[in-house]
Amino acid sequence: MKLFEDRISSAVARVRIALALKAVEVESVPTSILGAEPRSRSADYLAVNPQGLVPALLTDDGVLITQSLAIVEYLDEWFPEPALLPADPAERALARSVALSIASDIHPLLPPRVAKRLGTIPGADSMTAMEWNRHWIQEGLTAIEALLSRQPERLFAVGNAPSVADIVLFPQAINAERAGISLERWPRIAAVISSLRTIPAFAANAPVPRSADHRGPRR
């Protein structure tokens, strides 16, 4: 299988964590998403994934799967151990709720294409995108903290094993810290992230920091 990826991407990190938990190897196809001419916007890549986003997974049978959560579920179906969704229906639903509240409601407001568009709005200054990101991350993680706080305290976001909730929460939390947001204000999230940091599949697959030349002027 081939994974079209840029290691700075938190959506890519979700897939890489799932692959690592399942010990499945893939061929990496580097697909940059930053810079003047990102490979993700090239005609070649748009022919693969018309959305021009990473990740995308090409199976050995030639099936192309886009969207990180669709890829994670595909992997979970083909490689069932360890399961990435809890067996209990209520916990399963909660794991999906946590994952979707990040993947559908926080992350889409943050990627480079959004920052780029914000920068073109008259009156936007160099702080706009940074403040925009911090706002949506803080609002989103506050809601997730409240959801998690209704559950008994455990090592993982939901249930007794890493699930899709942890797979999506971990990269988002790491990026929150990189945006200068301390996790301390969300004790349940902070506790989960510190236990996930001890698991190599998570620690080795955190999104990599953007290089200085992609960060633009220091804000």
Ligand X SMILES: N[C@@H](CCC(=O)N[C@@H](CS)C(=O)NCC(=O)O)C(=O)O
Helix (H) or strand (E) holding 183: none
Where does this chain touch ligand X (CB under 6 A) — which range of 47-55, 89-97, 174-182, 195-203? 47-55
Where does this chain touch ligand X (CB under 6 A) — which range of 51-59, 80-88, 122-130, 187-195? 51-59
CA–CA gap between residue 17 and residue 202 (Å, rounded): 6
Where does this chain touch ligand X (CB under 6 A) — which range of 111-119, 137-145, 146-154, 209-217? 111-119
Residue 76 token pair: 């979970």
Where does this chain touch ligand X (CB under 6 A) — which range of 52-60, 121-129, 132-140, 156-164? 52-60
49/188 with CB nearer ligand X: 49
Helix (H) or strand (E) holding 110: none
Residues of span 10-29 touching ligand X by CB under 6 A: 10-11
- Assess contact for 189 and 148: CB atoms under 8 A: yes
Residue 72 CB neighbours (<10 A): 27
- To the nearest whole angstrom, how small is the minimum distance from the Cβ of residue 54 to ligand X? 4
Among 1, 3, 17, 33, binds ligand X (CB under 6 A): 33
Among 103, 129, 141, 196, binds ligand X (CB under 6 A): 103
Q: Which long-range contacts (CB under 8 A, 24 or more apart) does 156-160 make?
A: 156/192, 156/195, 156/196, 157/95, 157/98, 157/192, 158/86, 158/91, 158/94, 158/95, 158/98, 159/86, 159/88, 159/91, 159/95
User: Is residue 140 involved in binding ligand X (CB under 6 A)?
Assistant: no
Among 17, 19, 53, 72, binds ligand X (CB under 6 A): 53
- To the nearest whole angstrom, how small is the minimum distance from the Cβ of residue 154 to ligand X? 25
In three-state secondary structure terms, 66 is strand
- Cis, bond preceding 89 (omega within 30 deg of 0): no
Q: By the criterion CB under 6 A, which residues form the site for ligand X?
A: 9-11, 33, 40, 53-55, 67-69, 103, 111-113
